Structure 1
Amino acid sequence: MYRRCTYPLVLLLYVFLILEILFAVECVTDDLETECSQTSDSLKSESAPSLIPFRTDGLTRAEFCLSFAKQTSCIQATFGLTYKMDNCNNATDSEVWAHPCKALFNKTYIDLSCPTKECEDMKTITTSINMISPTRAIALKLYDNTDDRWLAIHKDITAPVRNQVIQLSVFFCKSPNTTVKVYALGMLPNVLHFQLGWFCHGLRIRKADFSRMPQVRVIQFTMSTTIAEMEPYTFTDLSNLQILTLEGEIAGNLFSRAENDHSEARSSLPDHVFEHIRRLHCACSFAWFRNFLKKKPHLTAAIRKGQLLKVGSFVLPEDDIRAPGSSANLTALSRRELDSFSISIEIFQNKWSPVLSVNCDEELNWENTQAGDLFSYNTSCYNLNC
C-alpha cells in the first residue's frame, strides 16, 4: 500500500522538475523576448511623491516680468530685436496689454526657453521664481549643443526649481549620451512630460537615465531622433508612464527624402541612421522593448489632447496622438494625390503616427512605416535570423 501511494507522487515530482528545467532553458535562450526576468527594484529607492498643489491662476505681474526679461533678452540676442518696457513691475496695465509678450499672462505655468549665451543668468531667474512663486509650475527647455550660443544642460539651472519643473525638454544633442546628462540633473520629482529631439541621432540610453523622474507620464522623442543602444528594460519601472513615442516625425522625413530629395530632411535623417530605425523594430537586441509595448498597449494607443492630465492651462498630451496605422494612409494615394497641396500640408504638419509600423520582411522606406498594427513593434525574434 505504501509503495502504491508514493509512486504517483514521485512521478508528479519528476514531471514538475522536467517542466521547471524546460522553463529555465526557455528563459536563458530567449530571455529578452519572453521577459522571464522580473523588472529590477534597484531604481525604486527614490519613491514618487504626490504632485505639489501647483497654482492654476494666471501669471502675476512679478512672474510676467521675470518671463518678460528672459523673453526679450532672447529675442534681442537671437534676432537683434527687443521690446522695451521700462520698469516692468510698475508699468501700467495698458502698457502690459499692448506688449507683444502679453500672451504670457494666459498661461498658468512659466515657460522657460532661452538658449542664447545672454541667458547665462538662468540660475538667477530660476532662483527668483522659486522665491516669489514656489508652487508655480515650470516648463523648462535645455539645450545640448557644441555651439557656444546654446545653453548647456546643467543642474545649477534646475536646482532652485527642481520640484516645480513639470515639463522638461532637451534639444540638440551634443553626443549620444544626452540622457545621461539628464540623469545628472538629479531628482526631478514632478516632471510629467519629458521630450527630447532635434538632431539626436544614435542615442545610447541607460535604464537609470529616467529613474529620477518618477512621476513622468509622457516620454516623447521628436524630430527624427534615433536610438543606437538601449539598456534592456529601460522604461519598465516607470509605473506612471502612459505615453511612450520614440519616433516622432521620422515617417514624414523619410517621405520628404524619397519624394522631394529634401536637403533639410536629409540633414534631419541622414543615411547612417537608417539601420537604427530598422533595428528598433526588427533586431533581437530590442525584442524586450517590443515585448514590453505588447504588454502595455496603452503606451502607444490613440489619445486626445488634454485627455491624460491637466494642471491649469498645462495639458497632456499637448496634441492628439495617433495609434499605429491610424494616420492618413498615404501609401494608398495616387501620384497626383501625393503631389497635391493638401497632402503636402498634411506631411508638413507631421500627421503621421509617432509609432511606426514596419514590416521587417520588406525594405525600410516611408511606405513601410504604415504597415498597420500587425507590424507595430511586434516582430518576434522567433521569426528572425539572429
Structure 2
Amino acid sequence: MSLLLGSKLGEKILARQQALAEQGLLRQRKALATDACVKTDTDPQFHFEGQTYLNFSSNDYLGLTRAPELVEALHCGAKQYGVGSGASPLVTGYSEAHLALETKLCQITGFEAALLFSSGFSANTTLCKTLFDKQDVVLADKLVHASIIDGLRDSGADFKRFLHNSTESAARLLAKNTVSALITESVFSMDGDIAPILALSALCRAHNAWLIVDDAHGFGVVDAVSAQVESTPASNLIDIQIVTFGKALGCQGAAILGSRQLVEFLVSNAREYIYSTALSPANAALALAAVEYSEAHPELRQKLQSNISLFKQLCFDAAIPLLGSDTAIQPLIIGDTAHTLLVAEKLKALGIWVGAIRPPTVPIGSARLRITLSASHSEAAIRRCVNGIAQVLAEVALPRMSERPER
C-alpha cells in the first residue's frame, strides 16, 4: 500500500478502485475448489469457503470438462507431445497436433484453413487489428464482445455499430458507407439470442462486404447457420468464423477459420501469432478429442435442449420474467446493480451460484442474473435453481424492473 501512496500511478489506482467499489463494480477473484476425482454422475458444483454450490454460471454447456475420456485425452496428449509447445508457431511451436485440429475444424465447417490461438479474446483482437486499418469501414452489432471492440479500436478502422440483431439498421449503414466487413456473434453471450445470419449474409453479399461471425457460444451446441438454412455449411454464408474451445468443448483455445489466403496473410502479419508461444500441442490434441467426442454423443445436445426447455417452463410457471432466449444462456434482467448483487448473494446463501453481470459488461440499467445451463445438470438441480430464484425474488423488494434498454 505504501508504494501506491504519493505516486501518480498509485493515486490513480486507488481512486479508480474506490470509485468501482462505491458503484458496486469492483471485480475480485474467488479461488474455487472442485472434487479431486472426475465425476460425471453429479451436478456441476464447486466448493468455496466451506460451502458447496450448484454451478449455474459456467459455459461448459455439454459438461465436457469432467468427461473421463477427455481427461485421458489430455493425459495422452501430454505424454506424446509434452506439456507445452516451447516456442512460437513460426519457430518450432507448430506441431502435427495443431495441424490435425485445424484439419478437423475445416472438415466440419467447410473452410479452407484455420489458425489456432490460446484464447477467443486473442483470436478476435488479432483478427481485427491485423485485417483492418484506417482505410476500412467496419460495421459491428452493438452487443459484440469486448475483444472485437478492442481489436477494431486498435486497428484504426472507421468503426460503426448497428442496432442489436437489426438487419434494417445494418442495411442503412451499408447503404451509406463503403463497408469492408460486418461483424456479429452467432449466440450473444449476455442476451443468449441468435443473430440473423442468413439475412446478414445476403446484405453483405449485396454490398460486397465480408461477414465475420464470432461463434464462441454457438460452436458445438447451436449451429446458427444450419438452423436458418438446412444442411448449409458455415463457409457458404460466412467469410470468417471464430470458434472457441473453452465453452461447449470444455477445454482451452480458439481458431480463426477462413480462406487459405486469409490464414496465410495472418501467419505473415499477425503480431500476436508471430510473437506468442503456440497453444500447447496437448491442448490441441484435447480439443480435437472434444470435437470428436461431441460428434459421437449427440445425446448431450439433446439433453442440453431438454434442460433449457425445463428451465424455461419452470420459470414461466413461477412467473420469473426471463429475457426470451432459447439457448443455454438465460438472462434475468434486474436492472439496478446493487439489487442484482443482492439477489445473487441470497442465491449463494441457498447454495446456488449464478453470474451477476453488471456494467460495463452490459449497458447501464440492464444488470442481470446470467443463468447458464449444462447437459450435466439434473432435473432436481434445475428445479432447485428455479425455486431458489423465485424465493429470493419474493424476499427482495426490487424496484420496478427496467425496461430492456435500447440497443
TM-score, with length taken from structure 1: 0.27
When the two structures are superposed, what TM-score results if normalisation uses the length of structure 2? Answer: 0.26
Report the structure number with the largest CA radius of gyration. Answer: 1
Give the structure with the higher percent strand. Answer: 2
